[in-house]
């Protein structure tokens, strides 16, 4: 009987030792898998950040080139946000001639509902040309903001994503048509819009 007790004790001891070893091994394996996942997430975030930085640099380069080639005063992009539910309009990208004040300093988180008519028009119309902001903008809020910015004339091109959903509007201000052919300038704006619309990062 005493011999049996020793055997049972040894067996249970072995089982407990095995269980402890297995749990330790299992935890170590889980820790390694977690480390691998964390490293993978880190690498992916770094890759996305690098890609995003390249896209931002590309967009700035395109709108600078557009501004200079059209002899315009300002060039900027109005974007609706958040991405899934458009509630506001903001300007995140802008370039301008020396001495021309930026619009993005005050065109931030403008409620779309406060300029519903203008927002609907730019969201649904591929091209809009405004000869005189004091006369040709029917939305009072949008008109007052453009006048406040010193804008007299606007060429607006809709930007869409791969699903043809509106994601922003490329705006070129006060083009000097004495030096630039109007038809060719519209072609340049279209080319610029096409080259940046699929890489435009959202405002969340």
- pLDDT (tens digit, 9 = 90+) per residue, 62-119? 999 999 988 899 999 999 999 888 999 999 899 998 888 889 888 999 999 999 999 9
> In this structure, what DSSP letter does residue 112 have?
G
* Model confidence pLDDT, tens digit, residues 12-32: 666 666 666 666 666 666 656
Q: Given pLDDT bands bounded at 50, 70 and 90, which one contains residue 183?
A: confident
* Model confidence pLDDT, tens digit, residues 105-123: 889 999 999 999 999 999 9
Phi, psi of 123 (to 5 degrees): -75, -25
Say how many CA atoms lie within 13 Å of 17 toward its Cβ: 6
Within the chain, how many helices (H) and strands (E) appear?
A: 5, 6
Structure tokens at 150: 């010193």
Domain ranges of the chain: 54-196
Class of 54-196 in CATH = alpha beta
The model's pTM: 0.75
């Amino acid at each position: 009987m005493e011999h049996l007790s020793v055997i049972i004790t040894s067996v249970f001891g072995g089982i407990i030792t095995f269980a402890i070893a297995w749990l330790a091994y299992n935890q170590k394996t889980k820790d390694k898998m977690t480390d691998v996942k964390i490293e993978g997430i880190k690498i992916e975030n770094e890759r996305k950040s690098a890609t995003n930085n390249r896209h931002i640099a590309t967009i700035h380069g395109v709108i600078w080139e557009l501004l200079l080639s059209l002899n315009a005063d300002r060039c900027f992009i109005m974007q609706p946000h958040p991405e899934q539910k458009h509630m506001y309009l903001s300007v995140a990208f802008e370039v301008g001639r020396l001495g021309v004040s930026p619009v993005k300093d005050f065109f931030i988180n403008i409620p779309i509902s406060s300029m519903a008519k203008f927002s609907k028009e730019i969201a649904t119309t591929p091209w809009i040309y405004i000869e005189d902001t004091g006369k040709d903008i029917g939305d009072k809020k949008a008109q007052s903001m453009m006048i406040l910015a010193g804008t007299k004339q606007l060429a607006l091109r809709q930007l869409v994503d791969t699903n043809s959903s509106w994601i922003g509007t490329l705006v070129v201000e006060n083009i000097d048509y004495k030096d630039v052919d109007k038809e060719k300038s519209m072609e340049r704006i279209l080319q610029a819009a096409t080259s940046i619309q699929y890489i435009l990062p959202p405002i969340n």
